[in-house]
Amino acid sequence: MSKYKFERIVNAEFSGISLRALLSEKWLLPRKFIHFLRIRENVKINGNYYPMNTIVQGNQKIELIFEGDEFRTATSNYIVDKGRKIPIIFENEDLLVVNKPQGIKSHPNQPYETGTLMNYIAGYLDVKDEHPYKHPYMVHRLDMLTSGAMIVAKNPVVVPILTRLISTHTIKRDYLAVTEGIFDQKEGVIDLPIGKDENDKRKRKVDGIGALPARTHYQVIKEFGNNSVVYLRLETGRTHQLRVHLSAMGHPIVGDVLYNHVSEEKHMMLHGYKQKLTLPFSMRELELKADIPKYFTNYEEKVKESKN
């Protein structure tokens, strides 16, 4: 099992707090991580071990050593696939944000499966010899037919940090969709619980089996023909949430083969357009955008031409 050695610098604004507070409250490390760092004396300040109540100062170097048993998933076993290049929106030593193309799965579902985003990212990292950690780790996923911004961790240390930042809405994920019909209310919140569809294991439905709370913020930003372009922000992250919520509103997404039975468009018009990203450790905020696929524009032009 591989050891992971990290060196991070304390932000100036974190001066004057305890080492424990730095690790738990500012860097958001799980309690299990902190426990093992303490009992193994695997956390050091400027090269020396100090108790957890030690006060840290800005620009000090914090060294963290993880043995591997701290992690839920210690190793990344995605098969390397160099058959496709994935557009990179942002990259640092801990993570990538990629622009996932429509039509590929986020991750494999079967042993030895390739051709998914995680396989392609494994191929990309495999040739970056300057980086000590060359393996992708799942943080969240996008449906196969959804394109757009997706975070991929480069090491298991940052996975729970990123997961927590997403669950607390510190990291925000915004989408664009082209839907059927014209909305009566141009903005609002869709607050409908989502569960499994008892008649189709592929699908989800409002008030389905095991339904959990689900909230989506929406704003209509454009209308053309009998279509609306809608800006969407996830407050929760249920499977197929945007697709189910918009369908339940009577405005299914154009090209959605599961929830829209009238559209003949071959592309599903749902794109992860923007992310407000918070970087682990530095907690610096970035706003990132994923280029909108050309088929969005092409569809609008096709609709306009059909009306003439």
- Reduced to 3 states (helix: H, G, I; strand: E, B; else coil), residue 12 is helix
Whole-number Å distance between alpha carbons of 43 and 307: 66
Kindly state the tokens that stand for 186.
């141009």
Whole-number Å distance between alpha carbons of 141 and 239: 9
Number of Cβ within a 10 Å radius of residue 308: 4
The single residue of 143, 191, 200, 256 carrying the catalytic annotation is 143
**What pairs with residue 43 in β-bridges?**
64
* 57 neighbors 15 (Cβ within 8 angstroms): yes
Question: Looking at this protein, which amino acid is placed at residue 72?
Answer: R
Kindly state the tokens that stand for 282.
């530095």
* 64 neighbors 102 (Cβ within 8 angstroms): no
What separation, in Å, do the N-terminal and C-terminal C-alpha atoms of the chain show? 65
> 114: buried, middle or exposed (CB in 10 Å: 19+, 13-18, 0-12)?
middle
Q: Is 126 in the active site?
A: no
Q: Could you give phi then psi for residue 22, rounded to 5 degrees? A: -60, -50
- By annotation, the residues acting in catalysis are 143
